[in-house]
Structure 1
Amino acid sequence: MSHDIADPGLAAGGHLGIEWAARRMPVLAAIRERFEREQPLAGYRVGVYEPATTETANLMLALRAGGAAVALCASNPLSTQDAAAAALVDAGIPVFAIRGEDADTFYRHIYAVLDT
Structure 2
Amino acid sequence: MANSKNEILLQKRSDFNAWGLPGGALEFGESAPKACVREFLEETGLKVRTKSLLGVSTNFIQHYPNQDVAQAVTVEFVVELVEKMSKEISSETLDLKYFYKDKLPKIFNKQHQIFIDHYFNEDYPFID
Q: TM-score, normalised by structure 2?
A: 0.24
Q: TM-score, normalised by structure 1?
A: 0.26
Structure richer in strand, relative to its length: 2
